[in-house]
Amino acid sequence: MDFDEVLRRRRMVRSYEPDRPVPAELVDKIVAHALRAPSAGFSQGWGFLVLTEPADRARYWASLAGPDEPDEPDEPGGPDEPGGPDEPDEPDEPDEPDEPDEPGGPDAWLVRLSAAPLVIVALSNKSVYLDRYAQPDKGWTDRDEAHWPVPYWDIDTGFAALLMHLTAVNEGLGSCFVGLPVGTIPAFKAAFGIPEEYTPIGALTVGYRAADKRSPSLRRGHRPVHDVVHLGRWAG
């Protein structure tokens, strides 16, 4: 698929065909493309938990059923944008009304997400970066996190997640990036034996798209280019 077309079709998809698994070769390709992401000092301080078996996916969703589970029909992290295969991005077209709430209440979005036949949790490892930049060619021997203006371990892992997301789109799949509710992270890590030094930055649900529900966040529309792009200097 042409790259411009991949970007046009890219959206957060929350509904999947539950009985149509992602072929193993596509799972391998999606994960392999994550390894092409850039990382500071080529630290590659990331890890990916790939869940394809129904029992493993059920354990994942069960681990998130904690007190901090979100109660709004949007994913807890990651933008909503139009532009799916059946919804070309038409910025000048009037916004359509949202579909009525579906049976099941405000958590129905989670039920739809949990039908995805593939879940990939992206995790970052700060210690890998601190160790890498304490090496002779970098020279921050004190491993002080204050050297870092932003958490590149999370940013780089986010790059990797985006490459997986775009790869899924390129292969005709739907995908959604969702955060893990803060209070559920200990239960998630315990359920899958995640080492302490790894932090989940989010998960990708992946699968073949089913009829989806329009996110109410789309009412906001795209911010105008002149509000977010500043050429030469940040003009007031």
H-assigned helices in the chain: 3-9, 24-34, 54-63, 108-113, 126-132, 152-170, 185-192, 225-228
User: Helix, strand, coil: what percent of the chain each, to 5?
Assistant: 40, 15, 50
pLDDT lower than 50: segments of the chain: 68-106
pLDDT value at position 217? 82
d(CA 48, CA 89) in angstroms, rounded, equals: 31
**pTM of the complete model beyond 0.85:** no
Q: Please list, in sequence order, all residues whose beta carbon lies within 8 angstroms of the beta carbon of residue 144, skipping any fewer than 6 positions away.
A: none
pLDDT value at position 67? 55
pLDDT value at position 100? 37
How many C-beta neighbours within 10 Å does residue 143 have?
Answer: 13
Three-state secondary-structure class, residue 41: helix
How many C-beta neighbours within 10 Å does residue 101 have?
Answer: 13
pLDDT value at position 214? 75
d(CA 91, CA 58) in angstroms, rounded, equals: 38
pLDDT value at position 78? 40
Which residues, listed in sequence order, are joined to residue 49 by a DSSP beta bridge?
A: 121
